[in-house]
Structure 1
């Protein structure tokens, strides 16, 4: 029954469509619902009464939990106000894993703290069976010098060559701010954000379902990473945009046989368990302890250490190390 929905964007009410999906059949469900902030969506009024909105959310969250496999994950993106209510329902039927804080500053809100993040609730259907991959992001570097921004308190010799394990605060993936990069949608997420979530919770061939797929970001991320997708949306125009976006991408976000997330030609996210397969694509010194990571740089136009993962640029021939000064 699930097969007829695979790799399709389907127009319709999410609750009606979710009810047609079999129990325990989806590897990951991800939702980025309307925020009930009176934004202008096509075909949807984003201005429900407080209780009506939460009652509606309980219904689609319940359906997401039902259709997710015991080994699967439930991910929900929203502003903290609504996520704090979602946890009440999710805690009854699923296992809490993380509240991911995605650094995305918004406009000041008068006499209060300026909002600095959106949240992503990360729950699993069954903590004992959950499929969760540790993921890594690149070391942060100074833009002009390529030096690492952090000195790691004298523990540089133990640094991972690519970058640290990712925490539950994500500051390296930014909102889509320029209209020329946006679709006609009020709340479009960056593909790199969804790719990180997909790599963290799935394997090749798994199924990712988004009941509010909008212009297709979740489906695009899944397709690029060799996963199957199912997308629902109430609006036919968004379906058309999603399908056009999907036509532009292939399942090619990989190095060799290993799936990774690229952003601006360089790797943004990789799974820790894949490092052994990927490390052969690096040109790095064999004795990591001899490297001063704060002052390391590549001779090839002072390019960051992550360059050898790029699909679009030549690999550097060698690495030089600047010894630190007396200070």
Structure 2
């Protein structure tokens, strides 16, 4: 039954579609549901009454737990207000692992502590069987001098060359704030947020399910990292956007045989147990203490096919094709406007 959904984005009500997924068949489930804050979704009314919203949430959360394998993980992203309710639902069915605080300051809001983070609940279907990998992110450095932003005092000899283990507070992944990077969706997440979650909880070819697919961040992250994906969304336009984006994605976020998360051709997340295989791919200072002032550099940056490079090549190819087959002013004047005629003229 699961095969008809595998590596596809299916339009429909997530509750009805989840009921068609067999028990214990998905490696991780991730959900970024509507926040019930009157956001402008295309096909969903984001303003339910409190109990109606909570009942609905409990229903799809129960289905997420049911379809997740005993070795699998459940991740829920939302504002803290709703996550407290989600936790009460999950505590009955799964094992709490972490409340991940994703640093994301917002505009001032009235007489209260100012919201400064989104939460991501991390639960195990069964903590004793959980598949989990420690992950690392690069050292945080000052913008101009590139020295370590954190003062490690006399403990610099203990520094890991690449960077520290990731904690449950994520400050190095930023929200998508600029319209030129956004799709037509009110709550788009950055791709490397999902890549981090996928790297720490799955292996190659594992299945990642997102019942609120939106414009496809989870599915794209899964495909880039060599995982299989299942996506559901109520809106046909969001489904279409995702399908078009997936057509241009390849499973290429890796160095050698190790899957990593790239951002602008820099490695932003890697698995701790992959470091022994990856370290030869970096220029690393001879003395550990020198990491304080000298960032490690990827040796083969120019030869690695990263998502950013693939996109750049695709755009260049499209522009080249456009230039090759569009009539120039000279050809227009001579009425040589057919593609075949122009192609023949260029080939001479």
Give the match for residue 196 of structure 1. Answer: 196
Deviations 1:218-270 (A, max 9, x none): 00000000000000000000000001111222100000111000001100000
- Contact 2:210 2:231 (C-alpha < 8 Å) held by counterparts: yes
Give the match for residue 316 of structure 1. Answer: none
1:238-253 alignment, distance < 5 Å: 238-253=238-253
Give the match for residue 278 of structure 2. Answer: 278
Give the match for residue 231 of structure 1. Answer: 231
Give the match for residue 129 of structure 2. Answer: 129
Distance 1:189 1:309 in 2: 29
Give the match for residue 151 of structure 2. Answer: 151
Q: Which runs of 4+ in 1 moved over 6 A?
A: none
Q: Secondary structure at the match of 1:33?
A: coil
Q: Establish whether residue 292 from structure 1 lines up as the match of residue 293 from structure 2.
A: no
Give the match for residue 8 of structure 1. Answer: 8
Give the match for residue 112 of structure 1. Answer: 112
Give the match for residue 325 of structure 1. Answer: none
How far off its partner does 1:151 sit?
Answer: 2.2
How far off its partner does 1:57 sit?
Answer: 0.1
Q: Establish whether residue 308 from structure 1 lines up as the match of residue 299 from structure 2.
A: yes
Distance 2:290 2:101 in 1: 31
RMSD, aligned α-carbons: 1.3
**Rg: which structure is higher?**
2
- Contact 1:266 1:309 (C-alpha < 8 Å) held by counterparts: no
Distance 1:186 1:168 in 2: 26
Q: 1:258 to 1:282 in 2, by over 3 A?
A: same
How far off its partner does 1:76 sit?
Answer: 0.3
Distance 2:138 2:218 in 1: 23
Deviations 1:173-197 (A, max 9, x none): 0000000100000000000100000
Q: 1:309 to 1:150 in 2, by over 3 A?
A: farther
Give the match for residue 66 of structure 2. Answer: 66
Give the match for residue 300 of structure 1. Answer: none
Deviations 1:130-188 (A, max 9, x none): 00110000001111111111221210001110000000000000000000100000000
Q: Establish whether residue 36 from structure 1 lines up as the match of residue 36 from structure 2.
A: yes
- Structure 2: tracts of 5 or more residues without a match: 305-348
Distance 1:153 1:84 in 2: 38
How far off its partner does 1:26 sit?
Answer: 0.2
TM-score, scaled relative to structure 2 = 0.85
Deviations 1:68-119 (A, max 9, x none): 0000000000000000111111001100000000001112111011100000
Distance 2:271 2:3 in 1: 28
Moved more, 73-82 or 275-284: 275-284
1:156-235 alignment, distance < 5 Å: 156-235=156-235
- Contact 1:267 1:306 (C-alpha < 8 Å) held by counterparts: no
- Contact 1:162 1:306 (C-alpha < 8 Å) held by counterparts: no
Q: 1:136 to 1:311 in 2, by over 3 A?
A: farther
Distance 1:248 1:182 in 2: 17
Q: Secondary structure at the match of 2:274?
A: helix
TM-score, scaled relative to structure 1 = 0.91
How far off its partner does 1:61 sit?
Answer: 0.1
Give the match for residue 321 of structure 1. Answer: none
- Structure 1: tracts of 5 or more residues without a match: 298-303, 314-327
